[in-house]
Amino acid sequence: MRVFNFAAGPATLPLPVLEQARAEMTDWQGSGMSVMEISHRSAAFVAVAEQAERDLRELLGIPQNYKVLFLQGGATGQFTAIPLNLTAPGATVDYLNTGVWSKKALTEAKRYCTVEVVADEAASHYTTVPAPGSWQVSAEAAYVHYTPNETIGGVEFDYVPDTGTVPLVADMSSTILSRPIDVSRFGVIYAGAQKNIGPSGLVLVIVREDLLGRSRANTPPIWDYAVMAQEGSMLNTPPTFGIYIAGLIFQWLKREGGLAAIGERNHRKASLLYDYIDASGYYKSPVSRNARSWMNVPFNIADPSLEKTFCSEALAAGLANLEGHRSVGGMRASIYNAMPLQGVEALVAFMRDFQQRHG
């Protein structure tokens, strides 16, 4: 029996996509082979990758002057690739520090650049986002990096920073495709696949063309945006199964009505959960109201000794992976695109029942 899986990543995938992949597993499109067993350079597979890119471009409204790359090494690899591709030695770069992932990104950038932390939410224990206008882009910054959604803290920006002519770089791993965005506001968008795109092993990079060709001489070619754009992301063997599944997910998103419809549904799901938490007088959200993530919802109960019981009883009720990240404890419900509204309704019903029995 399938459960409602609230894991933060790798995360739940849409059931129709899993069922299609199962149906096609051993004989893909009449080839007598699975999609995993054909050459990445075959016309059939190249068509899969091209269709995936077309569908993604349509979903996100990606302008013509942006390249779409399907790479490997995860979002963590991009923490390195960003400074290598966008700066010369001695450059200064700006980072907004809003939690675990932005901290990791800026720590890596320090190996290559002078990092200015232009906004730091440490004082709130990373439960807030910096207000627009409360921080400034450094005069000499080569780019500004931020994490629109902090997956562990459950903190999400409710605005896109205005960085003027300085390229804005965003780690969208846990928020991409959750609602419409204006891609033209960004220089580079990157996202590990395993939250809202598909299986792990694939990382998406969307890069504005004028930022290509600035990489340092020692940049690994597999992370060099200009090289990978030139090679159609196939300098080496790409993660073919991941690209295939991502393509099926993009088609599923289109069938579901595209990102406007998905965004409305995500907003409903998140509101249902936060409204219940706030009204319960029992559960608490640690996150400031204007910074609450639509995708990752951490919450606590006053008596932390009940948290283990909460998670084990939830699992017995078919609600899996509600433990908070090991660094922060508590509970966390990740409610990405593939989590249906019924999953959130079932969670709220369970929380109400748990409160009645233990509160």
Ligand X SMILES: *Cc1c(COP(=O)(O)O)cnc(C)c1O
Q: Give the active site residue among 94, 195, 252, 294.
A: 195
Chosen residue from 51, 76, 138, 355 binding ligand X by CB under 6 A: 76
Which among 35-43, 73-81, 242-250, 329-337 is the span making contact with ligand X, rule CB under 6 A? 73-81
Please say whether the beta carbons of 99 and 152 come within 8 A: yes
Residue 164 to residue 152: CA distance in whole angstroms: 29
By CB under 6 A, residue 75 contacts ligand X: yes
The least distance separating ligand X from the CB of residue 96, rounded to whole angstroms, comes to 13
101 binds ligand X (CB under 6 A): yes
CB of 174 to ligand X, least distance (A): 4
Q: What is the DSSP string of 121-182?
A: -GGGTS-S-PPTTSS---TTEEEEEE-SEETTTTEE-SS----TTSPEEEE-TTTTTSS---
Q: Measuring CA to CA, how many Å separate 287 from each of 57, 129, 175? A: 33, 10, 17
171 catalytic per annotation: yes
Name which position in 173, 219, 266, 285 contacts ligand X (CB under 6 A).
173
* Residue (195 or 208) nearer to ligand X, CB: 195
Among positions 280-309, residues that touch ligand X (CB under 6 A) are none
**Count of positions on this chain that bind ligand X (CB under 6 A):** 12
Closest CA to 208 of 168, 181, 148, 174: 168
Cβ distance 193 to 201 under 8 Å? yes
Helix-helix angle 74-86:100-109, to 10 degrees? 40
Beta carbon of residue 242, minimum distance to ligand X (angstroms, whole number) = 11
**Which candidate in 28, 55, 94, 101 is catalytic?**
101
Residue 156 binds to ligand X (criterion: CB under 6 A): no
Least distance from ligand X to the Cβ atom of residue 106, Å: 12
Does 153 bind ligand X (CB under 6 A)? Our answer is no
Which residues fall within 8 angstroms of residue 356, CB to CB, at 6 or more apart?
Answer: none
Provide the 3-class DSSP secondary structure of residue 35. Answer: helix
Among 4, 5, 9, 324, binds ligand X (CB under 6 A): 9
Residue closer to ligand X, measured from CB, 129 or 351: 129
Comparing every residue's Cβ against ligand X, the nearest one is: 74
Does position 266 interact with ligand X (CB under 6 A)? The reply is no
Q: How far is the CB of 309 from ligand X (least distance, A)?
A: 28
- Only one of the segments 83-91, 157-165, 166-174, 271-279 lies at the binding site for ligand X (rule: CB under 6 A); that segment is 166-174
* Relative orientation angle of helices 43-60 and 240-255, to the nearest 10 degrees: 40
Minimum distance of ligand X from residue 29's CB (angstroms): 29
Identify which of residues 77 and 187 has a Cβ nearer to ligand X in the complex: 77
Residue 164: name the closest of 129, 183, 136, 192 by CA: 136
Residue 51's closest CA among 36, 70, 65? 70
Place of tokens 């960004």: 186
3-state helix, strand, coil in the chain (%, to 5): 40, 15, 40
Q: Which of 80, 97, 151, 233 contacts ligand X by CB under 6 A?
A: 151
Least distance to ligand X, CB of residue 9, Å:
5
Nearer to ligand X, 301 or 339 (CB): 339
Residue 147 interacts with ligand X (CB under 6 A): yes or no: yes
Of 28, 171, 223, 294, the active-site residue reads: 171
CA distance 298 to 334: 8
Cβ-contact 327, 103 below 8 angstroms: no
Q: Beta strand pairing status for 66-71 and 203-208? A: antiparallel
308 is catalytic: no
74 forms part of the interface with ligand X (CB under 6 A): yes
Could you confirm whether 101 is annotated as catalytic? yes
Q: How many CB atoms lie within 10 A of CB 2?
A: 9
Q: What positions carry a catalytic annotation?
A: 101, 171, 195
Contacts to ligand X by CB under 6 A: 9, 74-76, 101, 147, 151, 171, 173-174, 192, 195
